[in-house]
């Protein structure tokens, strides 16, 4: 394999849609579709897929791809008058040939910069000019990092406000065996009860029915433990105070055309988000939202991965 091939390759994906494949020398990889600026695959150095993609996912505009990491902007879910989750997840992004200099130097060579600006049509539904720069980086150890930089480029002096989420679909062995650590005792808005506010109990979160909760002001680190696979996902985030946890369970699964009836058993969405307090940018201002995912192969019982220690470690 040539060194160039190792790192970044632009090629055709499903239905001839353009995608970028990122590869790391030790074998991990990731795939990003220009359609939606959408990460659709993240594999560890054993070639195991870490993200869930529905077998019924539709890779055809204007439908958003079901699975991977859809980006919700400028509106999370139905928190506003736009279409659910905003519109950038069903727009075609471009490769950013002149990426703005990056504040922090990343050791990894394996990254791609994408950019999206609103079309004339978009400006009719959301009358704001912006530049959305997305950098997707695959770290030497296989960690996957997404950094969004959104700049207000309005020339009419107007500020704009938005909500945001990295709507990540994690692949899990069996949802009833999964625990989420780091959200205990936090307040959340329950989307299944008119966004009413509740306080979570003190133990790890487990799953036995549909869940659709927005946890408020969470720690910057959350752990998702998959006992059967002896794997823990650690989600680190900056600039994204909230976290959404979603599993449609059986009924909603059957109601979604682009989702298999039994697939709810093998996925969990844990989404780094900014929902409770909208972010406001004046012209010229820029916001940054970072999410870093790592998959730690370990067994909970071996004590190697005491989630409390993981969440306390840097």
Catalogue the active-site residues. 167, 271
Closest separation in Å from C-beta 108 to ligand TA6: 29
Does residue 244 interact with ligand TA6 by CB under 6 A? yes
Closest CA to 205 of 193, 196, 194, 190: 190
Q: Tokens representing 231?
A: 């794997």
Residues in the chain, overall count: 314
**Binding status of residue 246 toward ligand TA6 by CB under 6 A:** yes
Burial class (CB in 10 A: 0-12, 13-18, 19+), 108: middle
Rule CB under 6 A: which of 172-201 touch ligand TA6?
191
Q: Which of residues 50-109 bind ligand TA6 (CB under 6 A)?
A: 64, 77, 84-85
Instruction: Give CA 264 to chain center in angstroms.
Output: 18
Measured CA to CA, the distance from residue 264 to residue 76 in angstroms comes to 21
- Give whichever of 111 and 264 is closer to ligand TA6, judged by the CB atom: 264
What does the alpha-carbon distance between residue 173 and residue 162 come to, in Å, rounded to a whole number?
34
| Using rule CB under 6 A, residue 276 touches ligand TA6 | no
CB of 253 to ligand TA6, least distance (A): 11
Q: Rounded distance, CA 169 to CA 16, Å?
A: 23
Q: Does 216 bind ligand TA6 (CB under 6 A)?
A: no
Can you tell me which of 38, 43, 151, 167 binds ligand TA6, judged by CB under 6 A? Answer: 167
Question: Residue 35 interacts with ligand TA6 (CB under 6 A)?
Answer: no
Judged by the rule CB under 6 A, the positions of this chain that interact with ligand TA6 are 64, 77, 84-85, 167, 191, 212, 244, 246, 269, 271
């Amino acid at each position: 394999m040539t060194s160039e091939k190792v790192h970044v390759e632009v090629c055709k994906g499903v239905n001839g849609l353009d995608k970028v494949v990122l590869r790391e020398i030790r074998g991990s990889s990731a795939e990003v579709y220009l359609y939606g600026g959408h990460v659709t695959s993240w594999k560890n150095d054993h070639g195991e897929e870490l993200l869930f993609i529905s077998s019924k996912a539709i890779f055809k505009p204007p439908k958003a791809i079901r699975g991977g990491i859809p980006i919700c902007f400028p509106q999370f879910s139905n928190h506003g008058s736009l279409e659910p989750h905003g519109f950038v997840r069903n727009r075609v992004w471009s490769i950013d040939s002149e990426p703005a200099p990056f504040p922090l130097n990343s050791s990894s060579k394996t990254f791609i910069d994408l950019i999206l600006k609103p079309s004339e049509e978009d400006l009719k539904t959301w009358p704001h000019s912006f530049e959305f720069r997305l950098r997707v980086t695959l770290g030497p150890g296989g960690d996957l990092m997404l950094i969004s930089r959104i700049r207000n480029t309005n020339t009419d002096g107007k500020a704009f406000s938005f909500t945001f989420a990295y709507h990540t679909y994690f692949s899990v062995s069996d949802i009833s065996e999964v625990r989420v650590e780091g959200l205990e005792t936090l307040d959340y808005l329950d989307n299944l009860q008119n966004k009413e506010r509740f306080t979570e109990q003190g133990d790890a979160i487990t799953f036995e029915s549909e869940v659709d909760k927005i946890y408020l002001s969470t720690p910057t680190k959350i752990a998702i433990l998959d006992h059967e696979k002896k794997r823990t996902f650690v989600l680190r985030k900056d600039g994204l105070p909230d976290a959404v946890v979603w599993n449609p369970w059986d009924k909603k699964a059957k109601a979604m055309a682009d989702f298999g009836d039994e697939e709810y058993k093998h996925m969990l969405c844990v989404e780094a988000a900014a929902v409770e307090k909208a972010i406001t940018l004046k012209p010229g201002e820029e916001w940054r939202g970072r999410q870093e995912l790592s998959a730690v192969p370990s067994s909970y019982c071996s004590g190697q991965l005491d989630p409390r220690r993981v969440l306390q470690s840097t």
